[in-house]
Amino acid sequence: MDRLSNTIRPYAWGSTTAIPQLLGVEPSGEPQAEMWMGAHPGAPSRLERGPLNAVIDADPEAELGAEAVAKFGPRLPFLLKLLAAGAPLSLQVHPDLQQAKEGFADEEQRGVPIDAPHRNYKDANHKPELICALTPFDGLCGFRDPNEAAELLAGLGIDSLKPYADLLHAHPEEAALREVLTAILTADKHAMAATVGEATAAAERLGGAYTPYASIAHHYPGDPGVIAAMLLNYVRLQPGEALFLGAGVPHAYLNGLGVEIMANSDNVLRCGLTPKHVDVPELLRIVRFEATDPGVLRPEAGPDGEEVYETPIDEFRLSRYVLAEGSAASDLTARTPQILLCTAGEVRAGEFELAPGQSVFVPAGEKAQISGNGTIFRATVVA
């Protein structure tokens, strides 16, 4: 078992206070958006033995176990994060595995540099993800019923939005959502900026269900993503609740602190709320145009106090333990690699005392016991 030293990413949307508060340190005044725990080459965790990706590369089977290597290859298949949103992240979708392989191969064949700002596919992997709230956490997840979206748009009382509301009422679900999102993203930029300005003023005046969109518009004035966001379900997670985001589901995180886990990929197609590249044709190929329930997840009780967040994919498995002082130690020894993250109280993991925000890497087969008075998240794979 190895203590991890992790990188904090200072993305502009990050909270200036949430991660420092969890770690018990003074804020620097700069945004601290994500703490990465894993072997992603962009910011690998460090062990005393070296960067985690290099440690794994040196002997994949010893670190990951033969079963995980056989199923996922010689790399840690997940990335664990603390995510602290102080402003909305970009409205985005992720490709499925086949789409990612095809998109990556196409851009490689066309010679698009891997670091080009207009590159869509940084790798050939899909990026399902799960966010579990540590504080009240606001997000957007999946399309609303088109009739509900039409009523929300019509309620603003803006003439330029009436055609979108009419389309949402007039077509079958898939066609309606596709046509309206396409129209929003391909509209004249100046005309759309004026519409967003009117919509922002109306949302601020009306409040209630419009409040989240007024807040989004404050961070991204004139962005067509403000209108696109109104097509999606608004969700507020309470601590311990989670969302699973599968391929093709449009989503955005708005505000709050959470534990996020995802397949080890950087593939993102953006719809708006961003100054970055938006590839509308490719985005429309990836998005699943269907109304969905956000599907708020709550942990399911497992053996020995483990609470599991069930998802339909194998690259990651997230669970948590809420430990009480004096209770028997829990044995987490497994044939798969694990990262253990403390988020509250004080937890002993093997020989290490963990405070909130501290974590360890447990190689496959290594003995792992936890005890103490606090909360620990366990990230591993299904092999």
Residue 32, both tokens: 């601290």
Alpha carbons 189 and 205: distance in angstroms, whole number: 24
Token output for 49: 């033995």
CA gyration radius, the chain: 22
Count of residues for the chain? 383
In angstroms, rounded to a whole number, what is the distance separating the alpha carbons of residues 165 and 149?
A: 8
Q: Which two tokens stand for residue 171?
A: 């077509």
User: Residues of 4-36 as b/e, b for ≥16 C-beta within 10 angstroms?
Assistant: bebebeebebbbbbbbbbbbeeeeeeebbbbbb
How far is the C-alpha of 143 from the C-alpha of 145, rounded, in Å?
7
Which amino acid belongs to residue 172? P
- CB–CB of 78/41 below 8 Å? no
Point out the catalytic residue in the list 75, 144, 270, 320. 270
Contact present, 137 and 84 (Cβ < 8 Å): no
Annotated catalytic, 320? no
Alpha-carbon distances of 182 from 119, 176, 228, 277, 292, rounded to whole Å: 21, 10, 10, 16, 19
**β-strand 34-37 against 7-9: which pairing, if any?**
antiparallel
From CA 76, how far away is CA 118, in angstroms rounded? 27
Catalytically annotated residues: 270
